[in-house]
Structure formats: structure tokens, C-alpha cells
Amino acid sequence: MVSNSIGQHLEKVRQINPLIHHITNYVSVNDCANIALQLGALPVMADAVEEVEEMVSLAGALVLNIGTLNKRIVDSMLKAAKKANELSIPVILDPVGCGATSYRTQTTLRLLEEVRVTVLKGNAGEIGTIAGLEAEVRGVESGNVTGDLVQAGQKLAARLGAVVVVTGATDLILSPSGAATVSNGHPFLGRITGTGCMAATAVAAFSAVAEDAFAASVSALACFGVAAELAAYSNPSGPLSFKTAFLDAIAALQPDQVTNLAKIAYI
């Protein structure tokens, strides 16, 4: 079971210190860099089209995040991701706000058509939109989704040849042949900008060291959620003090803690 390997994955990230190349949004770029460091990975935020191929060649994984989208960034994403595909480097796509505007939706579909994505990670509205369900996305926040998200997500995973991750109060990790939930976390995560982006960084760090993207995603989200729970135990006074406690909890997280506290179910 994946739950038995979570601690091993965390230790491996800390031993290998994989470089995680981000082409991401400027709202959460610092938070993504910090979460990578606290997990034991090395972050780099390089989006100039002139250097992305060279930079991604040094990386253990590539994160593409369309949160602050523009043509220049799309060109860099495509160039970096195609190089990553050539080198068999995992690509994690976070389609932030897909479904809110036609530009975001079309860009997401273009990336999925031209790039082989290892993990597609989004909220229910974003993934529902891509999977063809009736879904509401308000700005970058998920609204209602009509339909069976597990079934639609697994069909999407089969079509893409990727793992599909749906983050929320309970995270869904979907492959063509399997599905798991991770129920760890804390409501304060929803009150801090960029925690979804940070989760994508965690998935990338684990994908860089694990052979299986499904197991990597489960492990990453379990560590993320357990750290949030441990941070909440320190009784932070509000969302910002929780954020500091959360980063501290990620840095101090021990393999046996996450193995014992992870709430993983296979469905």
C-alpha cells in the first residue's frame, strides 16, 4: 500500500534534494519556493524562454501553474515541458482558474494536447471543467460540480495517461485503474492564498523521487495535510500565524508521524 511508503518518500526527498523547476504565478511564487525548501527539495523559478530548456534539464520535476497567465509564460511553459518530456522529467500541471475564462480553458487544453503531463492537479471546478462536467469556477475558486467526479477523473486520467489529483477538504488521487482519498488537512488552508499551488510543489517534489506518480501524489498530499493538522495543534491565533506554523511543521515532519496520522482510503 502507498501508506507504507510515505515515510520513505519523504526521506528520499530530503536525501536527494531534487531541483523543482517552477513556471508559476507571481501570487504564490515565494510560498512555493518555501514549501519546496521545507520538504527538502530545491526550488528554482525560471520562466524566461531563453533559459527554460537549460534549466529544466537540471531539474527533477517541472511545475506549470497558469495562475497569472500571459502569452510569454505559455511560450515558456510549452518549451520547458517539451524538453522535460524529451528527458522523461515529470511534469505537474496546475490549471489555476481553468473554466473561469475561455483563455485559461483553451490554454489548459493546449498544454494537455501538446505536452505529456505526469500529474494534473486542480480543484474540483478546474478538473470538472477539463473532464467535461458542468462545473463552476469563480476566479480561481471552485464552485459546484455536477456529475461523478471520480468516474470522470479516471476517464480523464486514462485519456491523458496521467494521474489526476483533485484537491479539497478531501483530496482525490485518480489513475485509470485506481483511486484514493486523503482526508488530512485543516480549514485554515482554505484561508491562505496559494496553498493549492504549494500542494502542486509538494506533488512535484515527491514525483521527482518516486517511480510511481500515483504513490508520489498520495504521499505528498498526506504529508501536506498532516503538517497542516500538526500546525493547528499549536493553536495559531489566525491564518497568518498558522501559515508560519505550517511551514515549521513541514520542516520538522518525521516519517513516522505522517505514517501514523495519514488518513488514506482506497476506493
Cα–Cα distance, 18 to 111 (Å, whole number): 24
Q: Is 45 assigned to a binding site?
A: yes
Q: Is 194 annotated as a binding residue?
A: yes
CA separation for the pair 138, 24 (Å, rounded) = 20
Residue 109 in contact with residue 128, Cβ under 8 Å? Answer: no
The C-alpha R_g of the chain, in whole angstroms, comes to: 17
**118 annotated as a binding-site residue:** no
- Which amino acids are annotated as binding site for substrate, given as ranges? 45, 194
- Binding residues for ATP, as ranges, are 121, 167
Residues placed in the known binding site: 45, 121, 167, 194
